[in-house]
Amino acid sequence: MNISPHENDFGAAIEGVDLSKALSAEEVSQIRRAWLRYRMVYFPDQPMTHEQLEKFSLAIGSFGDDPYVRAIDGHPHIVEVRREPEEDVPLFGGTWHSDWSFQKTPPNATILHAKIIPPVGGDTHYCDGVRAFSALDSAMQARLEGLHALHSARKPYSHEGVKAGGGDRRSMTLLPSDKALSIQRHPMVRTHPETGEKVLWVNPLYTIGVDGLSEKEGEALLGELFEHMKAPEFIYRHRWRENMLGMWDNRCVMHSAQGGYAGHRRVLHRLTVAGSAPY
């Protein structure tokens, strides 16, 4: 197995392994070590069936709970992330986010397998929450470690949110619900349960406020943090290729789907790996 890390040890290519076949315990261990170290890893040239994709995901961990988006028929844990050439609605996943951070136990990992990739655009940008936290001054770190953020799915997945986002014109089927209005409280600085690293763990899509601060104060603090997190030195820009599989650590990474491929189809298959409550 050959592992080629990117700048700042954020993002790495892994080659020399066939994910369509059963992996040995040592191969799974190597992949997990690389995933924990580089936070986002990808495997070029990995043609896979739905069943093979599911089997790889289970080698990493149990399936996560994926609400609000209809799964592929017969495969309840695979969501098809699809955009047709003529679609004119906002990008699915285009706002910076950590997957399902509004859940009590958000996913440990997200796995994405590329099926149809446009000739231009369609990249995904990733933000390293570990380095984003370590770059803050000590006073801000101390302040944030005493605060909790409020997370909710209301913006994209409430009935109002889906309607505002053009949900009826999407090729993907969104499943709006009043459950999206609920709020989950999480620490703003998360301790990674496997590495022990401190992570700045807020995101523009699902983080809607700060517990104990007024709406105005919370918006100001979150706005400052979001701008900080999007600084170029924390970002890895990933270019997809057909049959590439990507996997990132949702406990310390947020991401954003990019456009730039109007007139082209883009299709990827996504699963999540179950996680634990942030602390």
Q: Among all residues, which ones are annotated catalytic?
A: 97, 99, 255, 270
194 residue type, one letter: E
